[in-house]
Structure 1
Amino acid sequence: MRLGNARTIDEFTRLQQFAKWIASVGDGILGGPNDGEVDIELPDDILIKYSGDPIAAIVDEIYSSFSSCSDNPTYLLERAILAPTLNVIESINQYMVSLNECEGRQYLNSDKTCTTDSTSSLLHDIHTPEFLNSLKCSGDPNHELYLKVGTPVMLLRDIDHANGLCNGTRLVITRLESHVLEAKVITGHNAGNKVLIPRMSLTPSDPRLPFRFQRKQFPVIVSYAMTIIKQKPRSIINPRWIIFEKTSV
């Protein structure tokens, strides 16, 4: 996909070399014979060298000139930080929101267990509201959602296909109200349209949970940073960097 977007011969050659390198990593060719674990030296041109706060370093690299360009939808569309875990994503997004000088608003959800007549009292005693509020599930908003005007967000549910409001659509918040969010679409054929996003009752489908619960919240997450699996092809024009946690090849 990225090779197809090359604008010059030099860029095409560079991307082709990178594609061969990353394929060699996946095929286990780099590092010589190994039993599944091997140390690989990463090329300098794909590294961000820093001293101090790693989050501040990668933000300065990807979102340079943020203070003067944060209200430009194209600027926000052209970049994103990809990471493998929700904890890293949340840390980066909180840091980015703090850089926005607009006044923010906090939205808290309402959680309750999905019960039957036979299990109602039992689940209520075990799964307290405080416990349900603490749960963080991939693909669902957290208990606490803190937003500011100008914050880029991603939809987590299909709302209106005709108007381009589908799971994965990226938008920028333009107005914050108690029961509805106003936002401008920045991806797809409906880019530029302003839409209203209501609170919705969502049922997380995390297979690790031995029970089901319902969460009423706005179906969006802040998307300065996002998980690798949420990044759709071509939804970001140039996602230049990925944060890798310690792993083995």
Structure 2
Amino acid sequence: MRLTVGSDSSTVHRITGFSNWLLDIGEGDPIGSLINFVYPSILQNFNIAGYFQERAILAPKNEVVQEINDQLLKLIPGEQKEYLSSDSLCQSEFVNDQFDSNLYPPNVLNGLKISGMPNHNLILKVGVPVMLLRNIDQKNGLCNGTRLQVISLGKQVIEAVIISGSNIGNRTFIPRMSLTPTENKIPFKFQRRQFPLAVCFAMTINKSQGRKVMILATYLYAYDIFFHGCYDEMNTSVLTG
């Protein structure tokens, strides 16, 4: 408004156009736009080798990553399989007489969503990209952060093919594991027995560091997340929303 005072009509027109452009930023369906940009024709291509290997959507927070992954999971055809974890308090908690285990029944533990841990309710489909959340066999490329694509869904193991790192193309079997959170935000220790996997159409920016991705989109919303080293080793095309 200050810039328009005393300006000629052509300048006012340019300023008004720029103001309207600023107001339009963020309108519409940014997540849908990112999905179409990074995963075009996903229904025709998701079974093609290398399709997920060179694509990723990044977001600052796990909540947004979960939302994007849920949307894309629904797009993949085929029957989904649900895996539920078995959660229990660690025995060390019962040594403390002041600890009341009744405050943390299984349904409370099931509802905990912790960074670096698989969710209690893990829903997968054949063909979906996933990320490994624990080191299993570093020599063969099964490290925390390795991306894989699901081949088959069994009751005791999940078969997948590695799509990142130095062992791309190798097939492997992922078993259930007993996992304990490493962060100290929870005032007690518990154990979750679950497949150490998370759906990985999208990932957090922290998880993306050091990865080589050809097509990349970043979902930003009032966060200054471009810190030093975030996009090292990446050849990227970036669409922000």
TM, length-normalised to structure 2: 0.78
Distance 1:123-1:236 versus aligned 2 partners, 3 A rule: farther
How far the C-alpha of 1:58 sits from its partner, in A, is 1.3
User: Is residue 92 from structure 1 mapped to residue 68 from structure 2 by the alignment?
Assistant: yes
How far the C-alpha of 1:95 sits from its partner, in A, is 0.5
2:121 counterpart residue number: 144
Structure 2 residue identity aligned to 1:207: N
2:201 to 217, 224, 228: 224
1:46-67 Cα offsets, whole Å, 9 max, x none, are xx97754332221111111111
In structure 1, distance between residues paired with 2:100 and 2:221: 36
In structure 1, distance between residues paired with 2:164 and 2:147: 6
Q: Does the 8 Å CA contact 1:50/1:57 hold for their aligned counterparts?
A: no
Aligned residues: 203
In structure 2, distance between residues paired with 1:76 and 1:168: 15
Structure 2 residue identity aligned to 1:67: L
In structure 2, distance between residues paired with 1:236 and 1:145: 27
1:64-114 Cα offsets, whole Å, 9 max, x none, are 111111112311011111111111011100100100001110000011111
Q: Does the 8 Å CA contact 2:116/2:133 hold for their aligned counterparts?
A: yes
2:157 to 146, 168, 180: 180
Structure 1 residue identity aligned to 2:34: I
Give 3-state SS (helix, strand or coil) of 1:74's partner.
Answer: coil
1:243 to 190, 195, 219: 219
Q: Does the 8 Å CA contact 2:81/2:124 hold for their aligned counterparts?
A: yes
Q: Does the 8 Å CA contact 2:179/2:191 hold for their aligned counterparts?
A: yes
How far the C-alpha of 1:248 sits from its partner, in A, is 5.9
1:191 counterpart residue number: 168
1:24-54 Cα offsets, whole Å, 9 max, x none, are xxxxxxxxxxxxxxxxx9xx9xxx9775433
Structure 1's unaligned 5+ residue stretches are: 1-40
1:135 counterpart residue number: 112
Q: Does the 8 Å CA contact 2:118/2:194 hold for their aligned counterparts?
A: yes
RMSD between superposed Cα atoms in Å: 2.3
Q: Does the 8 Å CA contact 1:179/1:198 hold for their aligned counterparts?
A: yes
Sequence identity percentage: 43
2:33 counterpart residue number: 57
2:86 to 89, 110, 131: 110
**Whose radius of gyration is greater, 1 or 2?**
2
Q: Does the 8 Å CA contact 1:172/1:186 hold for their aligned counterparts?
A: yes
Distance 1:111-1:197 versus aligned 2 partners, 3 A rule: same
1:23 counterpart residue number: none
1:209 counterpart residue number: 186
Distance 1:213-1:64 versus aligned 2 partners, 3 A rule: same
